[in-house]
Amino acid sequence: MRRILNVAVANSWIVRKPFQQGEPLIKPGEESPRERIISREEEQRLLAACHTEREHLRAILICALDTGMRRGEIFSLEWSDIDFDSGLITIRAFNTKTMRERQIGMTERLRSELMRLSETQDGVLVFGIKTHAQHSFQKAKQEAGLPDVRFHDLRHTHATRLVGAQMPLAEVGRVLGHTQPSTTFRYVNINADTARRAADLLDMFNSATINQTQRASVQIC
């Protein structure tokens, strides 16, 4: 939009840009790239803060971390989008930022969370709420001592873990649903093999962390 208005002024199609008066809609500082990747220890603190009235938040955060889905995509999920047999989640085109349908693989811990929810949820929506649980997320962050973490940082964390697990960048872009060069180039929709491989890589990551924690506990004892 900025570029269009600059061209319009340069060609005398308009006298001035309409956003020159008053508070700017977009501040340069807000456009600067921001990368906040949470560590495994920070993740554990955040999930531990999902108790009592915030218990519903745990499955949502695990979904964000293990799928890299956008917030709107997560809260729009319906049970018909979940295929436990194939281990795939379908994100409908209408609910994506790019209007392109894609599939995401389920990790074992996400599958467990979703199966638990399926036994208690009666509605169409997987997580049973239409809001974005911002209040609960803020409370959980405060308790975990992570006030600077944004929900979107969980998506960045997911991508970083996949890259660290040696998944090719092109496939990471497919998992995330990127289509623009400014994100991860221009990609076609993710296929089922890539979706399952993403989940398998994260299962290995989760399993390795659990084993390390168990070994550390044995040494302490």
- 164 assigned to some structural domain: yes
Classified as helix, coil or strand, 154 is helix
Q: How many C-beta atoms surround the C-beta of residue 150 within 10 A?
A: 14
Give domain status of residue 17, yes or no.
Answer: no
How many separate domains does the chain show?
1
The confidence score (pLDDT) of residue 96 equals: 87
Q: According to the model, what pLDDT value does residue 90 have?
A: 97
What gap in Å lies between CA 117 and CA 121, rounded to an integer?
6
71-80: string of b/e by CB count within 10 Å (b at 16+)? bebbbbbeee
* 61: CB partners within 8 A, 6+ apart: 46, 47, 50, 140, 154
Instruction: Determine the pLDDT at residue 67.
Output: 96
Instruction: Tell me what pLDDT residue 98 has.
Output: 80
- Tokens matching residue 141: 């962050």
DSSP state for residue 88 in the 8-state scheme: E
Q: What is the pLDDT of residue 33?
A: 54
Strand partners, 83: 88
Please indicate, yes or no, if residue 180 is contained in any of the structural domains. yes
Which pLDDT does position 109 carry in this prediction?
97
- 7, part of any domain: no
Sign of the Cα torsion 7, 13, 16, 19 reads negative
pLDDT recorded at residue 31: 47
pLDDT at 113: 96
> What is the span of the domain harbouring residue 188?
36-220
- Residue in 219, 177, 12 with CA at minimum distance from that of residue 89: 177
Query: Mean pLDDT of residues grouped by 10 in the chain (221 residues)?
Result: 77 76 52 73 97 93 96 95 97 88 96 94 87 89 96 89 80 80 42 74 84 66 58
Residue among 221, 156, 171 nearest 201 (CA): 171
CB 93 within 8 A of CB 84: no
8 A C-beta contact, residue 50 and residue 58: yes
* DSSP annotation of 91: E
Q: Domain for residue 87, yes or no?
A: yes
Specify whether the CB–CB gap between 95 and 85 falls below 8 A. Answer: no
Evaluate whether residue 8 is within a structural domain.
Answer: no
- Kindly report, residue by residue over 144-166, the tens digit of the pLDDT: 999 999 999 998 888 888 877 87
Give the CATH number of the domain where residue 86 resides.
1.10.443.10
pTM of the model: 0.71
What local confidence, expressed as pLDDT, does residue 21 receive? 63
Q: Give the pLDDT confidence score for residue 110 in this predicted structure.
A: 97
pLDDT, residue 219, reads 65
Return the pLDDT at 108.
96
Is 30 inside a domain boundary?
no
Q: Is 19 within a domain?
A: no
